[in-house]
Amino acid sequence: MRFPTFLKSLLLGVPVGVTLLDCVGYVARVEGVSMQPALNPDASVTDYVFLSRWAVRNMDVQRGDIISLISPKDPSQKIIKRVVALQGDVISTLGYKLPYVTVPEGHCWVEGDHTGNSLDSNTFGPVSLGLVTARATQIVWPPSRWQQLPSFVPKTRVPIAIGKRATTGNSRAANNHNVSNSSGNSSPTLVHPIEEVHRLN
């Protein structure tokens, strides 16, 4: 009798687990230096972050959010970056083909905090919101690094003009422009969920 009971639990548990991973979120390992100092602050530390799929279910992305997205350069790779500008915003670029970009509708502009050491929108341009897979909300490992990940835009990267944006009904502290001490060659930061070991560059 125990074996059939175990099988029943397994058959019920697997779909629930898959649903949680698909709808709620998962833990992923961060690789690379592009998000220093917020993530992987030095070579001796590898951060694991909780990626909330639920937080972006309505494509509710705000300036300053750290997000996981499918790389526009390599669809087989997931990367992790900070949202710097939203649709309608005008952003001054860093080495992009145009000195200023107005972010198109349905897109955002993402950058790594480690300026000059990040493969981001300054290389591939504005990113479709459809490529966003999750928002990084907490560092969950190692224990010495447990913390919430605040949303802010580095002072030197605030858009030079803010576009009008329709509200989504989410009153989350949007559009924060708090100051970061981001420092400024090109390595992506990868994300790996623990079950597949997702990498975030």
Confidence class for position 188, pLDDT limits 50, 70, 90: low
In-domain check, residue 189: no
- Residue span of the structural domain in which 139 resides: 24-148
Domain count for the chain: 1
% of residues, the chain, pLDDT over 90: 61
pLDDT at site 8: 52
User: And the tokens for 94?
Assistant: 């860093």
For the stretch 122-149, pLDDT in tens is 999 999 999 999 999 999 999 999 999 9
In-domain check, residue 11: no
In-domain check, residue 10: no
In-domain check, residue 134: yes
| pTM for this predicted structure | 0.76
For the stretch 85-117, pLDDT in tens is 999 999 999 999 999 999 999 999 999 999 888
In-domain check, residue 174: no
Burial of residue 99 (number of CB atoms within 10 Å: 0-12, 13-18, 19+): exposed
In-domain check, residue 137: yes
Give me the CATH number covering residue 60: 2.10.109.10
Strands (E) across the chain are located at 25-31, 48-52, 66-70, 78-86, 90-92, 100-102, 107-111, 127-128, 132-141, 147-148, 190-193, 199-200
Per-chain mean pLDDT for the chain: 80
Would strands 107-111 and 78-86 be described as parallel, antiparallel, or unpaired? antiparallel
**Average pLDDT score over residue span 1-26:** 55
Confidence class for position 26, pLDDT limits 50, 70, 90: very high
- Annotated catalytic residue 34: yes
pLDDT surpasses 70 at 14: no
pLDDT surpasses 90 at 55: no
For the stretch 146-173, pLDDT in tens is 999 999 999 999 999 998 764 444 445 4
In-domain check, residue 173: no
Exactly one of 52, 81, 151, 182 is catalytic; which is it?
81
In-domain check, residue 60: yes
pLDDT at site 191: 56
Beta bridge mates, 192: 29
Exactly one of 34, 71, 121, 182 is catalytic; which is it?
34
